[in-house]
A and B are shown apart, each in its own frame.
Chain A
Amino acid sequence: MDKDRVVRFSGSARFAHWGHTVTFLVLLFTGLILFSPAVGRVLAPVFGGYVNASTIHKVMAVFFTIIPLIALVINFRGFLDWWKDVFSFGKNDIKFLMKFPLEFFGFKVDLPPQSKFNGGEKMNSVITTTSCVLLALSGYVMWFKDAFSPTLVQWAYPIHGICMILATCMVCMHAYLGSFHPGSGESFWGMWKGTVRSDWAAHHHAKWYEEVTKSQN
């Protein structure tokens, strides 16, 4: 392995990430058609009308559900490590979250050393994962509405909408931070190639980098 690079994301994590990227975006735009009539008028023709859009939405929903489950089965260890880190939410993460808004807009701040996932990434993990699970569950309730109680079906609609909004907000910020935000440079390659520059890892995820180098020596 390249001495200057460290492995950040396994193949299965990257498969789940990019699989969810594609399916989420298609689901978002086909779903927005039914979110409000104004959006529907503009977007429905793009997907060949309402009925086609709903078929695409359902097919994508199945892939959206299966992809993370496949990754989960292939690499359950990686999944556990991810959530162990997410839930080891400590003082450094809170400090990170408080100072990060300044860093987000370009001000130089001193951020405390972070583990594999920084405070913001931990929040992103919790919010997007919860939204995705609720989106899938409420989606299947609406899809197979005859199998569920009328009240549950009625609540599935606003829940699907709320989770769509939360997840989309996180996706917007996440996509920007992982690409065009000048402070994030290498993080995109971590998810694309699976590895990141060592000096970047040391700077952004000092605690994690320390662990990785220790286990390698």
Chain B
Amino acid sequence: MTKRMVFVDTSLCTGCKACSVACKAWNDLPAEKNQLITSYQAQASTTHNTWTYISMHEKYENGKMEWLMFKHQCYHCAEPSCMKACPAEAIYQTDSGYTIIDQNKCIGCGYCVANCPWGVPKTDPELKKTFKCTGCIDRVENGLLPACVATCQPGALHFGEPEEMKQIAEVRLAEVKKDFPKAQLYGDKAMGGTTYLYLLKEEPAFYGLPENPTTSASLVVWKDWVQPYGIWLIPIALGASAVSFVTTRIINSMSKSKGGDIHG
């Protein structure tokens, strides 16, 4: 399947949370007990049982309050840090642009959890498996819309070809910019480009999002230097010992025949 894209138009989101419910319904995820953390928001982050949720941000200007919404789920990056960090080769990408955790291979080590710039994947402590949004790959690859997109009432979620989505996004950006001068697209430059493209009414920091996340330096050091090259120091140390084992004995026997001896 060719590449697909979801356009999240946060300017149209009403914060009804139907996407979160539809996600749980399709993916058979139980409801969780939680508490209000702000005036309307009860979900603090994704969990192993909540793969998408809306964060609600209150903006005050000239004595007026406005709601800004943001839909959280896996961004399905083109260059996913989670996949790079996974030591079990349990994370793979599809041609359609989705980053998927193979639950048969996942060992729940949490390396992806620590290295996702948005902290999306979460490990189930009992199952010892890590879960996140699958992009409804099972629906998408069978001609259905992702559950969240299918259920969105205000039309804040669009699904289709990347070019088509980007066009819609540009048109919407021009409109929203009239009222929100800081409005911008988000995700197209992050982690090689994300499958979930956003239109934000404010800058990313307002929503608590990293400005322009890239593969972290620690992950590059770990996976591109230490793992492929650094590890060879160990065979070198072993090899040097093996060489010494042979040469010490050769030299020793040679000097013995001449009457000398290496001390013991």
A12 at the interface (CB under 8 A from B): no
Sampled A-B contacts (14; CB under 8 Å) = A34-B109, A35-B87, A36-B87, A36-B227, A106-B247, A106-B248, A158-B219, A161-B227, A165-B226, A172-B234, A181-B244, A182-B252, A183-B262, A185-B264
Q: Is the CB of A34 within 8 A of B87?
A: yes
Among B92-100, B110-118, B165-173, the stretch in contact with A: B110-118
Known A-B contacts A161-B226, A180-B245; A154 and B231 likewise in contact (beta carbons under 8 Å): no
Known A-B contacts A40-B87, A150-B114; A165 and B233 likewise in contact (beta carbons under 8 Å): yes
Q: Which of A35, A50, A186 is the one whose CB lies under 8 Å from B227?
A: A35
Q: Which of B89, B113, B248 is the one whose CB lies under 8 Å from A37?
A: B89
Nearest chain A residue, comparing its CB with the CB of B253: A106
B255: chain A residues at CB < 8 Å are 108
B119: chain A residues at CB < 8 Å are 150
Q: How far is the CB of B105 from chain A (nearest CB, A)?
A: 9
Q: Is the CB of A154 within 8 A of B263?
A: no
Nearest chain A residue, comparing its CB with the CB of B243: A105
Q: Is the CB of B109 within 8 A of A50?
A: yes
A204: chain B residues at CB < 8 Å are 263
How far is A158 from B262 in the complex, measured between Cα atoms in Å? 42
B 222-236 binary contact with A (CB < 8 Å = 1; else 0) = 100011001101101
B219: chain A residues at CB < 8 Å are 154, 157-158
A 136-173 binary contact with B (CB < 8 Å = 1; else 0) = 00000010010000110111011001100110111011
How far is A180 from B231 in the complex, measured between Cα atoms in Å? 24
B205 at the interface (CB under 8 A from A): no
Q: How far is the CB of B3 from chain A (nearest CB, A)?
A: 26
Q: How far is the CB of A25 from chain B (nearest CB, A)?
A: 13
Q: Is the CB of A154 within 8 A of B233?
A: no
How far is A40 from B111 in the complex, measured between Cα atoms in Å? 15
Q: How far is the CB of A169 from chain B (nearest CB, A)?
A: 4
B243: chain A residues at CB < 8 Å are 105
Q: Which of B89, B241, B251 is the one whose CB lies under 8 Å from A172?
A: B241
Residues facing B in A174-210 (CB within 8 A) are: 176, 180-183, 185-186, 200, 203-204
Q: Is the CB of A158 within 8 A of B249?
A: no
Q: Is the CB of A169 within 8 A of B262?
A: no
B85 at the interface (CB under 8 A from A): yes
A 83-98 binary contact with B (CB < 8 Å = 1; else 0) = 0000000000000000
Residues facing A in B107-155 (CB within 8 A) are: 107-111, 113-115, 119, 128
A181: chain B residues at CB < 8 Å are 244-245, 248
A124 at the interface (CB under 8 A from B): no
B227: chain A residues at CB < 8 Å are 35-36, 161
How far is A103 from B109 in the complex, measured between Cα atoms in Å? 45
Q: Is the CB of A183 within 8 A of B88?
A: no
Q: Is the CB of B264 within 8 A of A106?
A: no
A104 at the interface (CB under 8 A from B): yes
What are the nearest 5 A-B pairs in CB distance? A106-B248, A106-B251, A158-B222, A185-B264, A50-B107
Q: Is the CB of B111 within 8 A of A182?
A: no
Q: Is the CB of B241 within 8 A of A145?
A: no
How far is A107 from B255 in the complex, measured between Cα atoms in Å? 10
A54 at the interface (CB under 8 A from B): yes
B240 at the interface (CB under 8 A from A): yes
Q: How far is the CB of A196 from chain B (nearest CB, A)?
A: 12
How far is A186 from B264 in the complex, measured between Cα atoms in Å? 7
